């Protein structure tokens, strides 16, 4: 693995590991003007707001991220993974594109495939975007 590719992946892993699993959003390498989009809805803007959102108790059910697959093309890093959540029999299938600028995450685009839970996920994302 090239040094550049490994560096880009390591930056993204701060979001996946510190943000989603370890509940330490202060360790995520966000750009101050970072934006997050989920399923086409804006769900966060700015490092401070994104860190605050990652403190939400809803993330405490995240148990593991498995089967990470990477596509790194310059400043765009795509990660495809399975997110295990407490109480769900099957993991959510997630595809996320991260844009990296100056070694910081400047944009996150998340798409979730949740099978029978898809509508519930969409409703939650829409409600979050309307509440911001």
DSSP 42: E
pLDDT for 114: 87
Q: How far is CA 29 from CA 80, 84, 100, 104, 112, in A?
A: 19, 23, 10, 5, 22
pLDDT for 1: 67
pLDDT for 117: 86
pLDDT for 43: 95
Q: Write the CATH number of the domain with boundaries 3-127.
A: 3.10.450.50
pLDDT for 58: 87
Question: How many Å is the maximal CA-CA distance in the chain?
Answer: 41
pLDDT for 47: 98
pLDDT for 83: 97
pLDDT for 2: 85
CB 30 within 8 A of CB 105: yes
Tokens coding 131: 């509440």
Cα-based angle 91, 50, 114 (whole degrees, multiple of 5): 20
The pTM (predicted TM-score) of the whole model is 0.93
Q: What residues of the chain score a pLDDT lower than 70?
A: 1
């Amino acid at each position: 693995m090239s040094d550049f590719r490994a560096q880009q992946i390591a930056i993204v892993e701060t979001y996946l590991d510190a943000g989603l699993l370890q509940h330490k959003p202060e360790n995520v390498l966000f750009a101050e003007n970072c934006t997050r989009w989920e399923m086409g809805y804006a769900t966060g803007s700015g490092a401070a707001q994104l860190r605050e959102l990652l403190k939400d108790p809803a993330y405490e059910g995240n148990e593991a991220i498995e089967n990470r697959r990477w596509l790194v093309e310059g400043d765009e890093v795509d990660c495809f993974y399975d997110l295990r959540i407490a109480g769900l029999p099957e993991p959510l299938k997630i595809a996320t594109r991260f844009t990296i600028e100056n070694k910081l995450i400047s944009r996150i685009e998340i798409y979730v495939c949740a099978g029978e839970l898809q509508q519930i996920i969409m409703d939650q994302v829409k409600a979050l975007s309307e509440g911001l």
